[in-house]
Amino acid sequence: MMLTLSNIGRRFGDTWILKDLNLDVGEGECVALLGPSGCGKSTALRLIAGLDQPDQGEVLIAGKPQSQIPAHRRRIGMVFQSYALFPHLSVRRNLSLGLQIRGASAADQRQRVNQMLEVVRLADQADQRPAQLSGGQRQRVALARALLRDPLVYLLDEPMSNLDAQLRDELRPDLRRLILGGPQPVVYVTHDQQEAMALADRIAILRAGRIEQIGTPEQLYNAPQTSFVAQFIGRPPMNLLKEDSHQVDSRVVVGIRPEHLRFDPAGLPCRLIHREWHGASQHLLLETPRGTLQMVCSGETALEDNANISWDPRLENRFDGISGQRIPSD
């Protein structure tokens, strides 16, 4: 493995921000760290970069322990949420400064920067300052600067969270082309599950400093191992229903995806509380005897205030109502 986090722990005072974190990221693999605020995503990134030191465990890059290697020598290509560009320098100078500090000759700086400006499609903006660029262009400068470090590992800390939805969609192909398609391992921190599912090979769901589940987007979506993961992955999130009152085991919680619900005259009675029309689909909020449910149906479906719904039992996910752990199917 190119990047390994072995039994990593980090605490502030008596509070463990990360505890017993184990993660392997292979060559050319992108692993997204996804979870709620305060779960330890950015702390993990800082430990890999050497900007902070773990209280336990070890970070290894290409099999080499990094605890004695300072941040500036770790060959990390890091892209920040805030771009972190020098506002008084041109695009060209923002890119060449790091090469200059690392001892590259003036001729080498010119050649590599000119090549990189072509790669990120910013040659015409080379002499402009960051304030003269759009948000997407500024983020491409930040990506170009990371590429020029010739890193062993890329670390991306919510690189698109400052962009509006349209710019994020436009920048994703650039991100794939410039970084995600290369041989280096990538750790991608984000709070946006759709971004993680679109870009990552695997996703690690963090909760209170621990990995709740790690797997491909398809694995997390189709077979969540806890009720926390079930509701964190998917938009709208998975519905969690109390077990049918006729069942003996009241600890069982049933999970069903909103898109798996269907209208059925013989099904569970419900009342329409709220509707959002999204063109091809509609998102519905329904009140039922087993709790409030969200449903996704066709945008052309005619709706009534009162109806009945059901679902295919084979699509159910079942969880222990106390531990939250998935109950294996028979």
Domain layout of the chain by residue ranges: 3-230, 239-320
pLDDT tens for each residue of 222-253:
999 999 999 999 889 999 998 765 555 568 99
Question: Can you read off the two tokens belonging to residue 310?
Answer: 């059901």
Q: Name residues whose C-beta falls within 8 Å of residue 165's C-beta, 6 or more positions apart in sequence.
A: none
Identify which has the larger pLDDT, 168 or 42: 42
How far apart, in whole angstroms, are the C-alpha atoms of residue 273 and residue 288? 10
Per-residue model confidence (pLDDT) at position 265: 94
Please answer whether residues 62 and 136 qualify as being in contact, where contact means their C-beta atoms are separated by less than 8 angstroms: no
- CB neighbours (10 Å) of residue 71? 14
What's the mean pLDDT in 54-66? 94
For residue 88, count other CB atoms closer than 10 A to its CB: 10
Range in 13-22, 212-221, 247-256, 283-292 with the lowest mean pLDDT:
247-256
pLDDT of residue 200: 93
Rounded to whole angstroms, how far apart are CA atoms 99 and 97? 5
Q: What is the pTM of this model?
A: 0.86
For the ranges 50-59, 69-78, 197-206, 276-285, the lowest mean pLDDT is seen at: 69-78
Strands 202-207 and 30-34: parallel
Q: For residue 308, is pLDDT > 80?
A: yes
Q: Give the pLDDT confidence score for residue 215 in this predicted structure.
A: 97
pLDDT tens track for 281-301? 999 999 999 889 999 999 998
Q: Is residue 43 within 8 Å of 32, Cβ to Cβ?
A: no
Query: What local confidence, expressed as pLDDT, does residue 166 receive?
Result: 79
Report the relative pairing of strands 3-12 and 15-25 from DSSP bridges: antiparallel
pLDDT over 80 at 1, yes or no: no
**Average pLDDT, stretch 100-120?**
88
Pairing state of beta strands 186-190 and 30-34? Answer: parallel
Amino acid 151: pLDDT: 87
- The pLDDT-based confidence of 210 (bands split at 50, 70, 90) is very high
Most confident range (mean pLDDT) of 5-9, 112-116, 147-151, 247-251 is 5-9
What's the pLDDT at 244? 65
pLDDT band at 330 (very low <50, low <70, confident <90, very high): low
CATH architecture of structural domain 3-230: 3-Layer(aba) Sandwich (3.40)
* Residue 73 predicted with pLDDT over 90: no
Report the C-alpha gap between 124 and 99 in whole angstroms. 21
Query: Percentage of the chain surpassing pLDDT 70?
Result: 97
Alpha carbon 151 to chain centroid, angstroms: 21
Q: Are 303 and 282 in contact (CB under 8 A)?
A: yes
Q: Span 53-80, mean pLDDT?
A: 90
- The rounded percent of the chain whose pLDDT value lies above 90 is 59
Return the CATH class of domain 239-320.
mainly beta
- pLDDT at 245 (0 to 100): 53
